[in-house]
């Protein structure tokens, strides 16, 4: 994938003059489309806002038609920049793409196709726009039906499942082999932090082996940019901590020790909050409770509790985590701990295990399961 034009900005692209009349003479846009474009293009923000209020779906139709039928890179970039501009000014405008008058229009297909085409500007804007449109759709539960009832259309429209799976494929591809050296990973994580709220996306992400791509990104951060990336990565892990197949993968990875390193070294409340909420979710799952006891999470939680946090959710989660860890310590007898360490091949020969009383009390336990 090319990284040419990687540093282009929306503002720079919008300074171009696009010869819309030429496209009408070659029948790539209609007379009505040309009229709408002339009325909208190069006008003041407030005037464009009024036009979108009056006939938003009409403008969406023109923009989507251009992206579907015109392949000239400069024009594709320009229309993506126009859409990016209107959505940045008011993200609620993403709902315009779901207007009933567009039921026969495949509003997703051009963006899905452009994810894999052209330069980084085109890919990144397509991903951003698609993520916003997907998140703004009405009736989030109805995952498969995207652009109205496909069966009543003349052609098969892209289903929501196609869109979500296509987005996940592209996002995982960016995490594996970035198209842009410094922008791909932050852009992909930013989109995932929104999209992983969707059950279909969680399933697709785990099937695509995406969880392991997040783990290396869980590490203490210092710059503002890297703190935001860390926060959004931890947000992804928190969303995945509600999904059983993802939890199973997290249990076999280095995610837990990395999350603990982050919470020990972070002063940013939003980062601490999302990690503590994740630990609270994982505490009762599989061997996470015992691992947290081994990693001295109780001590960390107690030192965090004495700090002046303003977030009520964080304080509640710290209290719940403390209570759960204390219960785990009580439940984990010294023999259970010894057995777990032996089975995991990580025996820590602590003073407790050198105590004759430990052997005296647990001698019969060693005879269980044929002296396993």
Q: pLDDT, tens digit, for every residue of 313-335?
A: 999 999 999 999 999 887 776 56
Burial class (CB in 10 A: 0-12, 13-18, 19+), 368: exposed
Burial class (CB in 10 A: 0-12, 13-18, 19+), 46: exposed
For the CA atoms of 345, 349, 350, 353, the dihedral, rounded to the nearest 10 degrees, stands at: 100
* Residues 188-207: tens digit of each pLDDT: 999 999 999 999 999 999 99
- Identify the pLDDT of residue 147: 45
User: What is the Cα–Cα distance from 149 to 349, expressed in whole angstroms?
Assistant: 65
- Identify the pLDDT of residue 143: 43
* Residues 116-154: tens digit of each pLDDT: 988 999 999 999 999 999 999 987 444 444 444 444 444
- Identify the pLDDT of residue 340: 64
User: What is the Cα–Cα distance from 365 to 372, expressed in whole angstroms?
Assistant: 10
Across 6-15, 31-40, 89-98, 295-304, least confident range: 6-15
- Identify the pLDDT of residue 308: 87
Helices 255-265 and 224-240: crossing angle, nearest 10°? 140
- Whether the CB-CB separation of 293 and 324 falls below 8 Å is answered with no
- Whether the CB-CB separation of 232 and 221 falls below 8 Å is answered with no
User: What is the Cα–Cα distance from 204 to 63, expressed in whole angstroms?
Assistant: 29
**Alpha carbon distances (Å) from 274 to 46, 190, 218, 270, 335:** 38, 15, 12, 6, 33
User: What is the Cα–Cα distance from 57 to 95, expressed in whole angstroms?
Assistant: 9
Q: How many CB atoms lie within 10 A of CB 3?
A: 14
Q: Which two tokens stand for residue 64?
A: 């989507």
- Whether the CB-CB separation of 269 and 314 falls below 8 Å is answered with yes
**Alpha carbon distances (Å) from 50 to 55, 56, 58, 177:** 9, 9, 13, 42
User: What is the Cα–Cα distance from 104 to 150, expressed in whole angstroms?
Assistant: 8
Which residues, 6+ apart, have CB-to-CB distance to 66 below 8 Å? 23, 28, 29, 33, 75, 76, 79
* Residues 179-190: tens digit of each pLDDT: 999 999 999 999
Residue labelled with tokens 């993520």: 131
* Residues 211-257: tens digit of each pLDDT: 999 999 999 998 988 999 999 999 999 999 999 999 999 999 999 99
Q: How many CB atoms lie within 10 A of CB 125?
A: 23
Q: How many CB atoms lie within 10 A of CB 47?
A: 11
Q: Which two tokens stand for residue 120?
A: 């980084």
* Residues 262-297: tens digit of each pLDDT: 999 998 999 999 999 999 999 999 889 999 999 999
Q: The pTM is what?
A: 0.83
């Amino acid at each position: 994938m090319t990284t040419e034009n990687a540093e282009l900005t929306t503002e720079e692209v919008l300074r171009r003059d696009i010869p819309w009349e030429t496209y009408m003479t070659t029948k790539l846009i209609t007379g009505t489309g040309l009229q709408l474009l002339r009325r909208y293009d190069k006008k003041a923000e407030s005037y464009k806002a009024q036009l979108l209020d009056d006939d938003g779906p009409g403008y969406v139709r023109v923009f989507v038609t251009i992206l579907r039928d015109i392949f000239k890179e400069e024009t594709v970039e320009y229309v993506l920049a126009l859409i990016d501009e209107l959505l940045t000014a008011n993200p609620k405008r993403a709902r315009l793409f779901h207007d009933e008058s567009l039921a026969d229009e495949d509003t997703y297909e051009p963006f899905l196709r452009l994810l894999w085409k052209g330069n980084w500007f085109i890919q990144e804007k397509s991903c951003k726009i698609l993520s916003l449109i997907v998140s703004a759709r009405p009736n989030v539960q109805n995952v498969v039906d995207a652009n109205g009832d496909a069966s009543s259309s003349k052609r098969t429209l892209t289903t929501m499942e196609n869109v979500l799976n296509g987005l996940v494929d592209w996002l995982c591809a960016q995490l594996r082999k970035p198209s842009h050296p410094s922008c791909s990973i932050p852009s992909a994580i930013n989109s995932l932090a929104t999209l992983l709220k969707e059950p279909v996306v969680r399933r697709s992400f785990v099937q695509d082996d995406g969880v392991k791509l997040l783990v290396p990104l869980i590490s203490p951060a210092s710059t503002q940019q890297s703190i935001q990336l860390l926060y959004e990565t931890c947000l992804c892990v928190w969303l995945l901590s509600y999904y059983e197949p993802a939890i199973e993968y997290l249990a076999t990875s280095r995610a837990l020790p990395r999350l603990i390193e982050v919470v020990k070294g972070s002063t940013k409340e939003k980062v601490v909050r999302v990690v503590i909420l994740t630990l609270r979710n994982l505490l009762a799952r599989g061997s996470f409770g015992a691992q947290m006891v081994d990693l001295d999470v109780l001590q960390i939680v107690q030192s965090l509790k004495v700090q002046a946090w303003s977030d009520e959710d964080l304080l509640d989660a710290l209290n719940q985590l403390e209570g759960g860890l204390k219960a785990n310590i009580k439940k984990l007898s010294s023999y259970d701990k010894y057995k777990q360490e032996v089975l995991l091949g990580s025996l820590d020969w602590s003073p407790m295990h050198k105590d004759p009383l430990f052997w005296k009390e647990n001698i019969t336990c060693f005879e269980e399961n044929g002296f396993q």
